[in-house]
Structure 1
Amino acid sequence: MRNYPTDSPKAMSRLLALAMIADGRLAPQELKTLHRSGVLEVLGVSEDTFDDAAGELTQDLLTHSTNHAAGMVEIEPATIDALLDEVQDPALRALVLKGMLEIVRADQMIDHRERRLLRRALAAWGDGTEPFPAAA
Structure 2
Amino acid sequence: MRTYPRNSPQAAARIVALALIADGHVCSSEERVLDKLDIAGELGLVPTQFAQIVQTLCEDLSVTHATFEPTAGRIDAAILATLIDEVDDPILRRKIIRLCMAVTVADDYLADGEVALLAAVLAAWGPTLKPAATRRDRLLLGLRTHERTAATT
TM-score by length of 2: 0.75
Do structure 1's residue 19 and structure 2's residue 19 form an aligned pair?
yes
How far apart are 1:74 and its partner, in Å?
A: 4.7
Q: Are the aligned partners of 1:15 and 1:83 in contact in 2 as well (CA < 8 Å)?
A: yes
| 1:45-83 CA distance string (max 9 Å, x none) | 221221121111010011121378xxx995201211111
| 1:68-119 CA distance string (max 9 Å, x none) | 8xxx995201211111111111000100110000000001000111101000
- The runs of at least 4 aligned residues of structure 1 exceeding 4 Å deviation read none
How many matched pairs? 125
Matched position secondary structure for 1:109: coil
Of the two, which has the highest radius of gyration? Answer: 2
Structure 2 counterpart of 1:30: 30
CA RMSD of aligned residues (A): 2.0
Mean Cα deviation higher: 73-82 or 20-29: 73-82
| 1:16-53 CA distance string (max 9 Å, x none) | 11111111111121121122113332322221221121
Residue ranges of structure 2 left out of the alignment (5+ in a row): 129-153
C-alpha distance in 2, partners of 1:62/1:48? 21
Structure 2 counterpart of 1:82: 82
Structure 1 residues 107 and 62, CA gap change in structure 2 (3 angstroms): same
Structure 1 residues 73 and 2, CA gap change in structure 2 (3 angstroms): farther
Identity %: 35
Aligned residue type for 1:66: T
Structure 1 residues 34 and 63, CA gap change in structure 2 (3 angstroms): same
Residue ranges of structure 1 left out of the alignment (5+ in a row): 129-136
